[in-house]
């Protein structure tokens, strides 16, 4: 069962400015095995809690032990599903996904969960992360096809151009094996970031890459188990947190309980940007509540880059916890200097030229009486291209700010991410090849201060060797292939596969 494609030419956008794309979130995954529960509705609410991780498409698969159904479509979770569609998804097992595309375009064909199967079983798979050996996996899929395996049994036949579709094809290409046996053969072949939640007609499965780059947690409900990208999704469905899925771990859940196997030795390198921006502030990662980490980053920022000012204001909403910490440490009053319109920006309607010229005012508007004549400290989580900060500083000055001091709770972003965050290319990153003073002049601020790498890491309560900081340092924990084998559109140039 498949969702329909909405009519019209509109594209879903969640930009702060119409022409300015910041760091886009990874995807959100959710899985549940709970006989006697309305698993489709629980998955819907779990995805609702993970909506910040992907706003392009959403999907849910369910099974009643005999038949596996999938419903997916373009749009937000609340746009894709209603009471009628959820009521049609019967069963006691479910897998859900909300997507931001990091491999393959933003099309209905690429929405997840991906579907594949053979006479023995059907698989629905949801993926958070990004594989860096997709070109090699594609070659392996083609080779399997020449050996007589049906690699087209699923999304590849329908034009899916994602790394997730390749993994799905490999999981179902050998009818002589069980899904668990095949998973333990396929998972060690994968390189990069993957937090998988998948299912067949009878069981729920989860797996996390050996580095544990993207988060994945295990929870318990009264009648079963839940796996999700973040602990906030467990909270919303009333599940108790049990533990994180370990790096290099494969989990199976069915009527016989939970089984765990190790398919690779763990080499923990959790994404530090989850603490800075990606995860919900009420999520806990490795025992550290994200909100607390961000407040501590703000405190550190105040110690590292003090300034005489009258008011600390955040860039809503991403800069709020760090701004609170900055105000607490500096003793400068915290205030609300910008009002955010929560409803503009997540729309299918493309702005016309008049609206486009308004730029940042689509999302933020200054409280003139609050900021007029004030020396402001403006706190945000990151600077990517710099266009948003440039427009924001100009807007605050026009509203009467006497001084604008920008403080950023992460180091300069100088390198792209290949593990599930869609940053700009290196040439587009404002901090590439220039000093902080040059960035400051470019955005028009009086002063600019970034938190140090050491300060950011200390706020997470994790060791440096347990974190991936590649977007700040260029040190990638999983060795990258040649440049021509990387990129969001790589598989669109190579698929569909010519396999008979």
pLDDT tens for each residue of 179-202? 999 999 999 999 999 999 999 999
CATH code (residue 311): 3.40.50.2020
Determine if residue 318 is labeled as part of a ligand binding site. yes
What pLDDT is stored for residue 383 in this prediction? 95
Average pLDDT over residues 259-282: 97
Domain assignment present for residue 108? The answer is yes
Domain assignment present for residue 262? The answer is yes
Question: Which position has the higher pLDDT, 279 or 388?
Answer: 279
What pLDDT is stored for residue 154 in this prediction? 58
Domain count, the chain: 2
Average pLDDT over residues 6-27: 44
Average pLDDT over residues 143-163: 64
Q: What pTM, to 2 d.p., does this model score?
A: 0.88
Residues 254 and 137 in one domain: yes
Domain assignment present for residue 11? The answer is no
Average pLDDT over residues 240-265: 98
Does the pLDDT value for residue 212 go beyond 80?
Answer: yes
Please name the residue that has the structure tokens 């309980």: 257
Does the pLDDT value for residue 488 go beyond 90?
Answer: no
Average pLDDT over residues 114-129: 93
467 contact partners, CB below 8 Å, separation of at least 6: 269, 270, 271, 272, 457, 460
Determine if residue 380 is labeled as part of a ligand binding site. yes
Average pLDDT over residues 124-147: 88
CA distance 74 to 99: 9
- Tokens of residue 76, six digits: 């937000």
Residues 240 and 367 in one domain: no
Domain assignment present for residue 421? The answer is yes
pLDDT band at 111 (very low <50, low <70, confident <90, very high): confident
Torsion of CA 226, 260, 67, 142, to 10 degrees: 120
Contact 187, 413 (CB under 8 A): no
What pLDDT is stored for residue 17 in this prediction? 46
Contact 276, 318 (CB under 8 A): no
Half-sphere exposure of 105 (CA within 13 A, CB side): 9
Does the pLDDT value for residue 349 go beyond 70?
Answer: no
Does the pLDDT value for residue 77 go beyond 90?
Answer: yes
Residues 233 and 338 in one domain: no
pLDDT band at 361 (very low <50, low <70, confident <90, very high): confident
Neighbours of 482 (CB within 10 A): 7
Torsion of CA 457, 458, 463, 468, to 10 degrees: -10
pLDDT, tens digit, 9 for 90 and up, residues 395-426? 999 999 999 999 999 999 999 999 988 776 88
Residues 310 and 265 in one domain: no
Residues 256 and 299 in one domain: no
What pLDDT is stored for residue 151 in this prediction? 60
Neighbours of 368 (CB within 10 A): 13
What pLDDT is stored for residue 146 in this prediction? 55
Does the pLDDT value for residue 12 go beyond 70?
Answer: no
Residues 358 and 390 in one domain: yes
pLDDT band at 71 (very low <50, low <70, confident <90, very high): very high
pLDDT band at 490 (very low <50, low <70, confident <90, very high): very low
pLDDT band at 18 (very low <50, low <70, confident <90, very high): very low
**Mean of all residue pLDDT scores within the chain:** 87
31 contact partners, CB below 8 Å, separation of at least 6: 43, 93, 94, 95, 96, 126, 197, 198, 199, 204, 205, 206, 226, 227, 228
Angle, in degrees to the nearest 10, between helices 163-171 and 179-186 = 130
Known active-site residue 98: no
CATH code (residue 61): 3.60.20.10
Sheet holding 57-63, edge to edge: 68-74, 57-63, 93-99, 28-33, 224-228, 217-221, 240-244
What pLDDT is stored for residue 55 in this prediction? 87
What pLDDT is stored for residue 106 in this prediction? 55
Domain assignment present for residue 7? The answer is no
Residues 122 and 94 in one domain: yes
183 contact partners, CB below 8 Å, separation of at least 6: 171, 205, 207, 250, 263
Burial (0-12, 13-18, 19+ Cβ within 10 Å), 433:
exposed
Instruction: Please pick, among 17, 27, 253, 439, the residue that the annotation labels catalytic.
Output: 27
Domain assignment present for residue 264? The answer is yes
Residues 118 and 247 in one domain: yes
Residues 296 and 204 in one domain: no
Residues 186 and 326 in one domain: no
Residues 264 and 359 in one domain: no
Domain assignment present for residue 13? The answer is no
Determine if residue 381 is labeled as part of a ligand binding site. yes
Q: Containing domain of residue 443, as a range?
A: 289-464
Does the pLDDT value for residue 109 go beyond 80?
Answer: no
Determine if residue 330 is labeled as part of a ligand binding site. no
Determine if residue 19 is labeled as part of a ligand binding site. no
Average pLDDT over residues 284-302: 98
């Amino acid at each position: 069962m498949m969702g329909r494609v909405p009519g019209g030419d509109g594209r879903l956008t969640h930009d702060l400015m119409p022409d300015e794309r910041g760091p886009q979130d990874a995807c959100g995954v959710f899985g549940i095995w709970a006989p006697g529960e309305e698993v489709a509705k629980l998955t819907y609410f779990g995805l609702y809690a993970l909506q910040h991780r992907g706003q392009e498409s959403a999907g849910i698969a369910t099974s009643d032990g005999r038949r596996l159904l999938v419903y997916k479509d373009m749009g937000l979770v609340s746009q894709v599903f209603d009471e009628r569609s959820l009521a049609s998804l019967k069963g006691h097992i479910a897998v859900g996904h909300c997507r931001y595309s990091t491999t393959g375009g933003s099309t209905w064909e690429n929405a997840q969960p991906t579907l594949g199967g053979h006479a023995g079983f059907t698989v629905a798979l949801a993926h958070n992360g990004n594989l860096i050996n997709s070109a090699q996996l594609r070659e392996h899929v083609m080779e399997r096809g020449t050996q007589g395996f049906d690699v087209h049994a699923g999304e590849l036949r329908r034009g899916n151009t994602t790394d997730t579709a390749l993994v799905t094809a490999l999981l179902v290409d050998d009818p002589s094996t069980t899904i668990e046996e095949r998973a333990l053969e396929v998972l060690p072949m994968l390189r990069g970031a993957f937090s998988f939640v998948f299912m067949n007609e009878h069981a729920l499965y989860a797996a996390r890459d050996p580095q544990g780059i993207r988060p994945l947690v295990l929870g318990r409900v009264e009648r079963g188990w839940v796996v999700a990208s973040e602990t906030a999704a467990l909270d919303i469905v009333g599940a108790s947190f049990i533990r994180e899925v370990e790096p290099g771990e494969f989990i199976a859940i069915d009527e016989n309980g939970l089984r765990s196997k190790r398919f690779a030795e763990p080499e923990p390198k959790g994404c530090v940007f989850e603490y800075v921006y990606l995860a919900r502030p009420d999520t806990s990662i490795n025992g550290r509540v994200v909100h607390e980490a961000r407040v501590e980053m703000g405190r550190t920022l105040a110690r590292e880059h003090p300034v005489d000012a009258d008011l600390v204001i955040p860039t809503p909403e991403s800069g709020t916890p760090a701004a609170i910490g900055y105000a607490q440490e500096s003793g400068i009053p915290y205030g609300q200097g910008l009002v955010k319109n929560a409803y503009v920006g997540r729309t299918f309607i493309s702005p016309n030229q008049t609206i486009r010229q308004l730029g940042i005012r689509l999302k933020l508007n200054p409280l003139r009486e609050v900021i007029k004549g004030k020396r402001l400290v403006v706190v945000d989580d990151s600077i990517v291209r710099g266009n948003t900060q440039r427009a924001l500083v100009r807007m605050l000055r026009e509203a009467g700010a006497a001084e604008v001091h920008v403080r950023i709770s992460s180091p300069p972003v100088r390198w792209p991410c290949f593990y599930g965050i869609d940053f700009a290319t290196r040439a587009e990153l404002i901090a590439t090849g220039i000093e902080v003073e040059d960035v400051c002049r470019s955005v028009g601020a009086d002063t600019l201060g970034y938190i140090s790498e050491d300060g950011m890491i200390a706020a997470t309560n994790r060791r440096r060797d347990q974190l991936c900081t590649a977007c700040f340092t260029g040190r990638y924990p999983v060795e990258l292939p040649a440049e021509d084998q990387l990129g969001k559109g790589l598989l669109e140039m190579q698929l569909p596969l010519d396999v008979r």
